[in-house]
Structure 1
Amino acid sequence: MRELKPFLRDLRRERGRLVLGTLLLIVSLAASIGLMGLSGWFITATAVAGLTGAYLDIYRPSAGIRFFALARSISRYFERLVHHDAVLRTLARLRGWLFRTLAPLPLARVGRLRRSDLLNRMTADVEALDNLYLRIVGPSLAAVVTLAATVTVLVLLAGPAGLAVGAVLLAGGLVLPLWAWRRGSPHGEAVDRHLPALRGAGVDAVQGLAELRACGAVARHEQRLMAAADGLAAARSRAARLTGAGEGAVGLLAHGALLAALVAGIPLYHAGTISGPLLALVALAALAAGEALTTLPGAWQHLGRTRAAARRLLEHADAAPDTAAPPSEGPPRQALGLALEGVTFRHEAHLPPVLRDCSLALAPGETVVIHGPSGCGKSTLLDLAAGLTRPESGTVILGGVPVAQLPEAERFARITYLTQRTELFADSVAGNLRIADPHADEARMWRALHTAGLEERVRAAPRGLDEWIGEGGGRLSGGEARRLALARLVLVDAPVVLLDEPFRGLDDATATQVARRLAPWLAERTALIISHDPESVPAHDRRVPFLELVTPGGE
């Protein structure tokens, strides 16, 4: 259980809400038991009074029944409200922690995780931890307190009958969660195997549909997708059957407690130790006490999956980056030289090289445009220059130092890279800009937006910098999203700039305007720009056809 300790410690930050929610849950359970027991006593006492003609005060029991009914409804409503508020706050904090944990890791390490794996950790694994308190810790504590109080009251009222009820509930309360945990762990592990596989196959089917069709592999991939879906459905079906069995076992346990109350209570009734109405109270309270255990088998059934999710989330928590810390001073502002010397690269060992013995040198402060047809390997050249990819042979040198020898944090303090993909978050304009510089003030953000040609669009928005852009920038056009990513790059203010098709998605007039505004900023830096249309890029010192960099036969 060691893997759960960090998450249990984190719950302390919500201890006020969790304690209040648990107390409300106890009140709700106690009210249910009191309602059932008092109702049984009142109905039986009314019947006895009708047969014997004895006087019965009906007002106080009626008030008690109404009180328990209202207390149960109100406490249950506020218990759900308080508990879910606390748990949702915890899960939101956990997602932020996970993002902050993954963000500084070396890209080579993060790159080993598929997008579907990252999605699974950010969603399914984090959500699995709501089972920890909402369904295991809180209800288990409430069940212990409620049953202890109920059995104590029944012992005081009926002696041996209360002890018999307590023995049955104690045995069942210990056995059922343990049984559900043991039996449910394999099903949880099966769900954990099939869910990432299904998500991965689904992502591949959507993002790689064109390649699957081109290779004639759609049917084979569909079989893989359906196998993962069938496996997940089967695992969930087995888990559902176990949940049903657990609920049935709780019902049997509650009726077992009722039987124990009657077996132990009837002799007491015949001996005149307890009255008939009191026997009915004990029997029905024992039956209602089973409600405190209703959710436990289903929750403990998923403890194995919760533990597995916790282990996966902790994989990177204590992982120290395999690079040195960034330099204490800020990133160097002077322009740096950039060079590729005899670089050869291929994507797979059995494929021909994309680059072969490629050499290119940029002097400090020089802007160079590489142009060529789409798909020839220009983006790979930028990935190599940024250090995202290691060459098969040759060296990439930044400021006189091989890129491979630079700590990752220092490398990204010196290089800023606009890739072809425009990655935006469901946040405001300012929120997306501050990814580049969390301390950027509004004046700097407006200057960056002006440089990227987006200032007028943002000023016209009702909320300005606080305008919400939607999931993945969905409320922006493709060109606006591209310019926002470009403004974010400007805020980084690194001495070396890599731009991959910077004006993709922009019309000619907008591209010309942005190129004119971007040129003075690039003039102070070393810039390598990739474009299939060299006429649309900012002012530059020279152009190099990509095919001239590639030795014949290496395209």
Structure 2
Amino acid sequence: MTLHRLIAAERWRERRRLQQAGLCAALVAIASVLLLALSGWFLTAAALAGGAGIVAAQAFNYMLPSAMIRLLAIVRTGARYGERLASHGAAFGALARLRPALYRALTVAPPSVVLALGRGEATARLIGDVDAVEWRFVRLSGPWGVVAALASGAALTLLCGWLAMVATLACVGGALGLARAWAHRLEEPGRAVQQAMGALREEVATIGGAAAELRCFALEDWATARITAASDRLAEAQARQAAVAARFEALHVLGVALAAASALVLSADAGAPIAALAALAAAMTADASAPILRAMIERGRLCEAEARLETLFEAAEAHPVTDVAEDASLLIDRMPFAPGSRIALTGPSGCGKTSLVEGLLGLRPLSPGRIMIGGRDAASLAPASLRATFAWTPQDAALLAGTVRDNLRLADDQASEDRMWQALHDAALDDVVRALPQGLNTWLGEDGARLSGGERRRLSLARAYLADAPWLLLDEPGEGLDALVAAQVARRMDARLERTGQGMILVSHRPVLSALCDRQWAADGEAADPPLNARSRPGGPGRAGAHPADLRMRSAHPAGTRSCDG
């Protein structure tokens, strides 16, 4: 679903609250016009009555107009509160569904689109651009108020003659027409503000993520200069936008002044109280156009925000989606791998092993026809289908700022504690977690700051174990581990694979882990070696049935195998 269709659907879903907001806005406008007009008449008439002497002053009815003024003031206040409550309720309700929809679009969009977004830019889309859409919902009640103000203002100024009414409506219409013409020509400053805001967020996120390295190399001043430059560009764009806003504000003030002056002059023959009524009614009628004028000020920023969001939704909608393959057999560079195979992804450093792993997860584009999953081209499978096939341990072992339990449940939000502890045991991390103050409920901090590098990597491995996927996709799971822990991880990994029957694609520098593999796949496009363990099991290549002694022999004599160097 594209953004425009999504917004249209949300407007329909929130139509009752939007209608309530519109009715309240109309009531605010009517009460405001009547209040100001009646106040002008009342003050002028009271002043004339007082100046005419004691008899006229005593005969003047003060109670009824003052009571009406108080009533209109109460109605306006209550209606304004109702309008804000209903319009913001509709906006927040729509955003509560829009942001998850945008996040889903990010996850299924083609890698070429998603990888072009940095962390700060993605945050700008999820926060800044969506907030601009919120502003659209909040302002939807504005036209209701303008129409109601025009109707009530026209009725009141008509009491003074049709010329006063026509002059008032002409002033309001002229101001709105000129503003509409300006809005099309003055969009660029608003667009520039939205772009500069996203660029600043991207700069701050990028530099903030490297804060430790920047301090170590004494580059704080360089980083500060980059952020300052991005901030200056935003300030410059905001200054141009403020100049545009000043034009519209001046137009608004001029429209109010002209409407009031023309109504006053054209109704002078009707007497001072009626002329005051007409002038203030005309002024309030013109003032009611303020919400539409402010919407035109923000037109460029809103159009840019919607265009940026629409790009993501269109990319996600255009991405081909196919069902997940019925079986988990792989055909890689015309080499077949049965489910349960253990494959060492080999190749020299920089040949693209990690990129290929990320391609299997839909994080990068894959070459069509290179990898088949269950007879289907992996390049045509949706990211969700690929991620149901592979459980991933990334090279950087990224963790949530949450508890151990939170990080494990990324793989399975319904996982029981028994399954969690089993996964931690298989990753040789259960003793570490038991020693933490609250065990599974221990807060780990930003990116697992409470754990060491090797512990973070093992927690990432345990998370992959929890995923219900036919293949494990492990990218350097042994980095940061000492020899004893790496050997323990390898033994438990071997036992788990034997128990579950899962397949494994492994990238690793550690011989103790690469020795678990019985097949090789060269990521650099060269021909892979024959099966490492073809003689260990009757019936052809495969890991099942291999004796642990064979693994130890290959680990002790790496010359007989191709290692997973990369």
Indicate the TM-score class for this superposition, using the shorter chain for normalisation.
0.7 to 0.9
Asked if structure 2 preserves the Cα contact closer than 8 Å seen for 1:14 and 1:86, the reply is: yes
Structure 1 gap segments, 5+ residues each: 270-275, 342-359
SS in 2 for 1:417: strand
- Whether contact under 8 Å (1:451, 1:518) holds in the other structure is no
Alignment deviations for residues 189-210 of structure 1 (CA, whole Å, 9 cap, x no partner): 3224433333333344334568
Q: Which residue of 2 aligns with 1:355?
A: none
In the other structure, the counterpart of 1:59 is 63
In 2, distance between residues paired with 1:226 and 1:380? 36
Deviation (angstroms), 1:263:
0.8
State the Cα distance separating 1:156 from its structure 2 match: 4.2
**Does the CA-based 8 Å contact 2:267-2:274 persist in structure 1?**
no
For the pair 1:130 / 2:134, whether they are aligned, the reply is yes
Amino acid at match of 1:249: L
How many residues align structurally?
A: 512
Give yes or no for contact 2:330–2:337 (8 Å, CA) kept in 1: yes
Deviates more, 1:427-436 or 1:309-318: 427-436
One-letter code of the match for 2:465?
V
CA distance, structure 2, for counterparts of residue 180 and residue 80 of structure 1: 28
Matches within 5 A, 1:159-170: 159-170=162-173
Q: Which amino acid aligns with 2:290?
A: T
- Distance in 1 separating the partners of 2:217 and 2:258: 63
Conservation of the 8 A alpha-carbon contact between 1:104 and 1:321: no
Alpha carbons of structure 1 residues 526 and 5: separation in structure 2 relative to 1, 3 Å: closer
Partner of 2:394: 419
Matches within 5 A, 1:457-496: 485-496=460-471
- Once residues 456 and 161 of structure 2 are traced to their aligned partners in structure 1, the CA distance between those partners, rounded to angstroms, is 74
Which residue identity does 1:286 align to in structure 2?
A
Instruction: Tell me the distance in 1 between the aligned counterparts of 2:138 and 2:375.
Output: 53
Name the CA distance, whole Å, in 2 between partners of 1:64 and 1:183: 45
Q: Is the 8 A contact 1:371 1:532 kept in 2?
A: no
Q: Distance in 1 between matches of 2:402 and 2:486?
A: 25
Aligned mate of 1:254, from 253, 256, 269: 256
Q: 2:91 aligns with which of 87, 90, 112?
A: 87
**Using the alignment, how far apart are the partners of 2:65 and 2:261 within structure 1?**
25
Distance 1:550 1:506 in 2: 18
**What's the CA shift for 1:235?**
1.3
Cα distance between partner residues in 2 of 1:390 and 1:121: 21
Deviates more, 1:501-510 or 1:107-116: 501-510
> Could you tell me which residue of structure 2 aligns to residue 12 of structure 1?
12
- In structure 1, how many angstroms separate the alpha carbons of the residues matched to 2:96 and 2:216? 41
Out of 318, 323, 327, the position equivalent to 1:326 is 323
1:31–1:549: structure 2 CA closer, same or farther, 3 Å change rule?
farther
Aligned to 1:199: 201
- Does the 8 Å CA contact 1:29/1:291 hold for their aligned counterparts? no
1:291 counterpart = 2:291: no
Cα drift, residue 20 of structure 1: 1.1
The TM-score with structure 2 as length reference comes to 0.73
Which residue does 1:526 correspond to in 2?
Answer: 503
| In structure 1, C-alpha distance between the alignment counterparts of 2:403 and 2:26, rounded to whole Å | 42
Partner of 1:407: 381
Q: Please, what is the CA RMSD of the aligned residues?
A: 4.8
The residue that corresponds to 1:231 in the other structure is 233
Q: SS of the residue aligned with 1:527?
A: strand
Aligned mates of 1:411, 1:529 — CA distance in 2: 17
User: CA contact under 8 A between 2:90 and 2:137: conserved in structure 1?
Assistant: no
**Structure 1 residue 220, shift from structure 2 partner:** 7.5
Deviates more, 1:404-413 or 1:95-104: 404-413
- Superposed displacement of residue 85, structure 1: 2.0
- Cα pair 1:31 1:72 within 8 Å, conserved: yes
How far has the Cα of 1:59 moved from its partner?
1.9
* Cα 1:282/1:390, change in 2 over 3 Å: closer
Q: Which amino acid aligns with 1:496?
A: W
Gaps of 5+ in 2: 518-550
Using the TM superposition, name which of 160-169 and 89-98 deviates more: 160-169
Counterpart amino acid of residue 279 in structure 2: A
How far apart, in 2, do the equivalents of 1:421 and 1:377 lie?
16
Q: Alpha-carbon deviations, 1:358-389, whole Å to 9, x = none?
A: xx9988646578999xxx84995344245359
Give how far 1:259 is off. 0.3
Match of 1:107 among 107, 111, 115: 111
Q: Deviations over 1:252-307 (max 9, x none)?
A: 211111101111110232xxxxxx32322222222223331223323212213322
Write the distance in 1 (CA, Å) between the matches of 2:42 and 2:482. 81
User: Which residue number in structure 2 is paired with residue 357 of structure 1?
Assistant: none
Partner of 1:74: 78
- Match of 2:251, SS state, is helix
Question: Quick one: structure 1 residues 210 and 41, their matched pair in 2 at CA, closer, same or farther if it must change by over 3 Å?
Answer: same
Following the alignment from structure 1 to structure 2, what is the Cα–Cα distance between the partners of residues 99 and 448? 27
Does structure 2 retain, via aligned residues, the 8 Å contact 1:387–1:403? no
